[in-house]
Structure 1
Amino acid sequence: MSNKSFWSRLPLHLFLIAAVGLIAYSNSFHVPFTFDDEGSIVSNNVIKNLNRFLHDDGYTYNPRRFLGYLTVALNYRLGGTDVTGYHAVNLAIHIGTGFLTYLLARLTLSTPALRRGDDATGASSWFIPLFAALLFVAHPVQTQAVTYIIQRLASLATLFFVGSIACYAKARKLQEESARPFAPKPLFFYLLALAAAGCAMKTKEIAFTLPFVVVLYEFMFFRMTAAKKLLFLLPVGLTVLIVPLSLLGTNKPIGQIISDVTAVTRVDSELSRLDYLFTQFPVIATYLRLLILPVRQNVDYDFPVYHSLANAPVILSLLLLLALFGAALFLWHRSRDPQAAPELMLVSFGILWFFITISVESSVIPIADVIFEHRVYLPSVGAFIALAALFSLLFKGAVSRAAVSIACVVVLALTVTTFARNSVWGSELSLWGDATQKSPRKARPHYNLALALEKSGRLEQSLQEALIATRLSPKEANPYNLIGSIFGKKGDYDQAIAALSLAVKLDPTLAEAQVNLGDAYRLKRMLPQAMEQYQAAMKQRPTDASIYHKIGVTFALQQNLPKAAVFFQCAASLDPSTPQYRLDLMRAQAGSQTK
């Protein structure tokens, strides 16, 4: 095939990338909010008022991820809690990153280090970028970054990250072709690269590695004096300060800041740096296995923590990673031979991209959850470019019918697998049912399945799953809170009070358990105890209108209507959209006047 043929045309390639992405995620538009979506979107008042978000609250809430949460606030402004709009934006980001992966690979193949004659690398100049981009958009390992709504932070940061590298590549390519070092066109793309870098770093901390990838890119693919390299690299290098400066004034540990998931029921959140590093060797090996063979995917892995380099999985994984890193350096060295296949350098670059970008979340900064699939989203860009180049190398750079046929089969298989994985994400029951089967000895999947069962009205099954969670993690308060809530719904207030009292004892800051305990006391007409719990919850959530309303109801039951009216007024002021608050206020005021 000639790269001048119909199949080498850019519009067709972009259409194929978009079509594969749409097909793979066509069943994801109604996947409900789950896991951290609840705290980050559904109950997050900060994103519910766009004007306040833009003028003050948004940046104060999370300055490190301002742009990511801004897109969530815009989604809420346009569609409230209708999940369709959120998924549409997530898929658009994913396909957009696929486009940029394609463009980056295509630009790279035309750089001075890889160009061979006037035709770049021959037919592979379009095949490698297209295959890499199709692997990226079709691969099921990406579902957690795309279908899990709040992981937009990872996918959006990746969009800006890849966009920045692509703009830098374009700027340098134009600069090489121009007689003037600061001609308008290269300068425009260079400034665009800097802007995209800044956006990436204000979306998620994983973008910290971007300047290092730019330096790698410059030294691998362009030829220039050291002074000129410094001139081009210094402004990009300075963007590395954005993330550390954003952390100033933050009292939380860095690992907790980087962590994507704040949901409850964690296991072993006090890892040492060495324990985390030892554990990350087999974690990274697992990521690599998922990229090659995406089976047994899990939203919440029960991954063992390793405390010694002597453990077999640790040492074997380390040897694998060292061999892969050594292969990347060897291929880089070999590719500098003018007679060597240009694909060698692209394979090397992709592997080094993977190692650099995985380092933020898989190194010596302890994060409570040692593995999550969305963490491989950014590193996978380099991995898929390397795999596409290696595939081309196996066919000696010739895009034969056999090569195209095999590539089509691979992409089709990945697309079908992604569609199937998205069906698991289709409901909280199916997602957490799948997780409990794959992580039966981990408390959090059982607790989240219990929550899903409780929402669907299956109280007995929910109670059983919650009890399993308490056995697996007896010091975690949330499962006891759920158990107490279920007993309360069944009218067994003694059992509810016992479970909820234990939840409050385990976590005195868990306002939800305090409210539920107050409800159980109130329904049992133990009003002083109910008032005590409501007031404790009010200190935790001073802007929660429902708590003020419950205190008002308790005062009304005590025949203290003037005080009840005060709290009903507070509830109505905090949440004017709930008519019950205003109605109870009028009744309390009327009752006070008749007395």
Structure 2
Amino acid sequence: MPPSHVHSPPLYRLHRFWIGLILVLGAIFYANSFRGALVFDDDMMIAGARGMANAPLAVWVRPGPRTVGAATFGLNYLAGGVNTFGYHLVNLVIHLSSATLLYWLIWRTFQSPRLAARYAQAAIPLAGVIALVWTLHPLQTQSVTYIVQRYESLMGLFFLLTLACLIRGVDRGKRSWLVASLGFCVLGMGTKEVMAAAPIMALWYDRVFLAESWRELWRKRWGYYAFYLLAFGALICFIAARWSWISKRGSLFHDQMSPLVYAMNQGPVILHYIRLAFWPQGQNIDYGWAASDNLVSLYTADLVMLVLLILVIWSIWKAPALGFLGGWFFVILAPSSSFAPIIDLAFEHRMYLPLLPLAVLAVIGGYELIARLAPPHRTKLAGAMAAVIILSLGVTTALRNEVYDSPMSLWSDVVRKSPDNWRGYTNVGKQYAMQQNQRQAYAFFIKAYQLNPSDHRVLSNYASILETYQPNPALSELCYQRAIADNPDFVDARFNYGMFLFDSHRLGEAKEQLQIAYRKAPHLPELLEKLASIELHEGNHDAAQKYLQQDLALNPRSAKAHQLLGSCLEQRDDQSAVVHYLTAIQLNPRYVEAHNNLADVFVRLGRYDLAQTHLQAALALEPQNKTVQRNLAAVKQALAAPN
């Protein structure tokens, strides 16, 4: 039978105290995460949607093992666009929800028949301290502050809900809780592939802490686990299909690393994770961890992993609760840290749930040591130690959050900690390029090129900076062509090459590259506007109008699109052209070209007074603009004429 559900008021007050403490400290130490910018894959997932202001939720949702997570980003975008506040708020709510749920799960586990005799009396403070250590640990920042890793934290929440509902279903003998458990499991499987570990851990937990025997477990809950088996099979099929598709695109799997080499290199990576769990210094959003050719260090780390695995297997029979902790660590890490050669060997967000057993072992280990002391001293010492550790973790988390304040600070941190990581140099170079600091951008792009001269992203960036800092058209074109050959689906290279060709007055070739990019990314405003400009230049007004109407349907506040549409409609529908020019000026009052073009329309309509007003506004903005000067002089001359 489960522990009694009728608690005295003091017990409820203790629960409320710890849950309140978890929520308050979590909110305090993650408060500065709301300053976090869009970084790394956030740019592809969220910032890349800037042109989709009116896009339906369906744009975000694709069938597969990440549909649920993608839908939450779509809802965030529909609610607040690319404003990061909403994304950070949802991420923090997910994390703190997991933290409070984890508190209940740990407390309930300490109350189970297997552990109650030893830990029931201290179950509440132990659960509170473990939950706080897990919540405030700096390793969690990558799953909370790095927005796109909501996939990991949301999957973690569904994982914990799956387990919690199973426990409630067994405690209360109600199938509705078991159905809810299955539902949350399915949602988790629609969030991230790691959820494949949930049925295994639910079954393991059931046998260790709930059922007295396998016979009892199968007799009472065979249907529950049969459904799990079906869901697990469906997820594996989805994963296999998705990974097959992604591997062909070369964006997830390492095509130059065998599963065996990948698995061998996970030994040092996992030991690094464990070191960070106990000493969280040297964190990095992008290690660029290369496969090691030092066989001695590899074999040593892998031997340590083998010993740990043997201890876990041994403890399954000799110390089942300890075996469950070891299983939790290795089973949840397995999808990303075993044999599937994912292109990145190490990422800290993979430790979101596997951090839990390490936190449990650390807190229980401290508790067992302090329990040996005399009663007058151990309570105060335990409280002081817990407070110091929890506050230290919280402060370290807040400091780590500051690195996410801007892409520049984040990628500069990567360059300092991983000086051989080409992605770090590429992204710092991009930030300098955005700041118009071409000299620094060139230096970082050159370093990235030296580290990885064959990558399509490096080649595209290098070609782009050559155009602006050290013009070398032949080399720029060669780099663009090599980038496209390396990855024909890379939209940035297609777009940048198209712009290069446009600026070189090779409009036919530019149009070809931009149309290929358009077929792959039809929601990019700059792409739509550049294609419209080419069509206008070629006199294809209908084609230009189609691109611009698509642009405005997605992003109605684009001054550039309104200005181009005004140019497209001139002489065919001057009244509509006036409306679009005025809208462009309203959106951007300093838009000289819109003022000048609107004046041309007013001249044709005989409204020289209005033409003069807009030309004077344009000249005030650009006093040296010769075209505006000539047009204004002509309008003044017309106004001075007798008729």
For the aligned pair, the TM-score class normalised by the smaller chain equals 0.7 to 0.9
CA contact (8 A) 2:491 2:521 kept: yes
How big is the shift at 1:48? 5.9
Q: Distance in 2 between matches of 1:255 and 1:404?
A: 52
Q: 1:153 aligns with which of 144, 151, 165?
A: 151
**Partner SS for 2:65:** helix
How big is the shift at 1:244? 4.2
Q: Distance in 2 between matches of 1:48 and 1:165?
A: 38
Q: Distance in 2 between matches of 1:319 and 1:199?
A: 37
Q: Distance in 2 between matches of 1:62 and 1:493?
A: 45
The verdict on how the C-alpha distance between 1:440 and 1:76 changes in structure 2, with shifts beyond 3 A counting, is same
Identity %: 25
CA contact (8 A) 1:349 1:386 kept: no
Per the normalisation by structure 1, the TM-score is 0.85
State whether structure 2 residue 278 is matched by structure 1 residue 292.
yes
Q: Distance in 1 between matches of 2:500 and 2:314?
A: 68
Q: Distance in 1 between matches of 2:422 and 2:119?
A: 52
Aligned to 1:374: 349
Q: Distance in 2 between matches of 1:587 and 1:115?
A: 78
State whether structure 2 residue 297 is matched by structure 1 residue 313.
yes
What is the CA RMSD across the aligned residues, in angstroms?
A: 3.2
Uncovered stretches (5+) of structure 2, i.e. residues with no partner: 1-7, 575-643
CA contact (8 A) 1:114 1:121 kept: yes
Matched to 2:38, the amino acid is F
How big is the shift at 1:383? 2.5
Q: Distance in 2 between matches of 1:428 and 1:538?
A: 27
State whether structure 2 residue 243 is matched by structure 1 residue 254.
yes
Matched to 2:186, the amino acid is G
The verdict on how the C-alpha distance between 1:246 and 1:332 changes in structure 2, with shifts beyond 3 A counting, is closer
Q: Distance in 1 between matches of 2:430 and 2:418?
A: 17
CA contact (8 A) 1:144 1:151 kept: yes
What are the equivalent positions in structure 2 for 1:250-399 lying under 5 Å apart? Answer: 254=243, 269-306=255-292, 311-329=295-313, 333-335=317-319, 346-396=321-371
What are the equivalent positions in structure 2 for 1:553-592 lying under 5 Å apart? Answer: 553-557=533-537, 560-561=538-539, 563-576=540-553, 577=556, 578-590=558-570
Aligned to 2:136: 138
How big is the shift at 1:554? 2.7
Uncovered stretches (5+) of structure 1, i.e. residues with no partner: 176-185, 336-344
How big is the shift at 1:377? 0.6
Matched to 2:37, the amino acid is P
Q: Deviations over 1:230-260 (max 9, x none)?
A: 132542353244354246477866388699x
| Residues paired across the two proteins, number | 559
Aligned to 1:517: 497
The verdict on how the C-alpha distance between 1:527 and 1:293 changes in structure 2, with shifts beyond 3 A counting, is same
Q: Distance in 1 between matches of 2:296 and 2:9?
A: 51
What are the equivalent positions in structure 2 for 1:30-45 lying under 5 Å apart? Answer: 30-44=35-49
**Partner SS for 1:409:** helix
Q: Distance in 2 between matches of 1:458 and 1:78?
A: 35
Per the normalisation by structure 2, the TM-score is 0.79
What are the equivalent positions in structure 2 for 1:96-495 lying under 5 Å apart? Answer: 96-116=97-117, 121-175=119-173, 186-230=174-218, 231-236=220-225, 238-242=227-231, 244-246=233-235, 248=237, 254=243, 269-306=255-292, 311-329=295-313, 333-335=317-319, 346-396=321-371, 400-489=379-468, 492=471, 494=473
State whether structure 2 residue 480 is matched by structure 1 residue 500.
yes
Q: Distance in 2 between matches of 1:458 and 1:347?
A: 56
How big is the shift at 1:506? 3.9
Q: Distance in 1 between matches of 2:77 and 2:424?
A: 28
Matched to 1:236, the amino acid is Y
Q: Is the deviation greater in 186-195 or in 323-332?
A: 323-332
The verdict on how the C-alpha distance between 1:500 and 1:406 changes in structure 2, with shifts beyond 3 A counting, is same
Matched to 1:39, the amino acid is M
Matched to 2:544, the amino acid is F
Matched to 1:218, the amino acid is D
CA contact (8 A) 1:549 1:571 kept: yes
Q: Distance in 1 between matches of 2:81 and 2:413?
A: 29
Q: Deviations over 1:42-83 (max 9, x none)?
A: 224898667x42xx5554x24211111111111112211110
Q: Distance in 2 between matches of 1:255 and 1:24?
A: 41
Q: Distance in 1 between matches of 2:426 and 2:253?
A: 13
Q: Deviations over 1:255-305 (max 9, x none)?
A: 88699xx997x9954321111111112211111111111111111113231
The verdict on how the C-alpha distance between 1:225 and 1:412 changes in structure 2, with shifts beyond 3 A counting, is closer
CA contact (8 A) 2:60 2:73 kept: no
Matched to 1:293, the amino acid is W
The verdict on how the C-alpha distance between 1:520 and 1:407 changes in structure 2, with shifts beyond 3 A counting, is same
The verdict on how the C-alpha distance between 1:412 and 1:532 changes in structure 2, with shifts beyond 3 A counting, is same
CA contact (8 A) 2:442 2:469 kept: no
The verdict on how the C-alpha distance between 1:49 and 1:5 changes in structure 2, with shifts beyond 3 A counting, is same
Q: Distance in 1 between matches of 2:413 and 2:303?
A: 32
Larger Rg: 2
How big is the shift at 1:518? 2.5
How big is the shift at 1:361? 1.0
How big is the shift at 1:433? 0.5
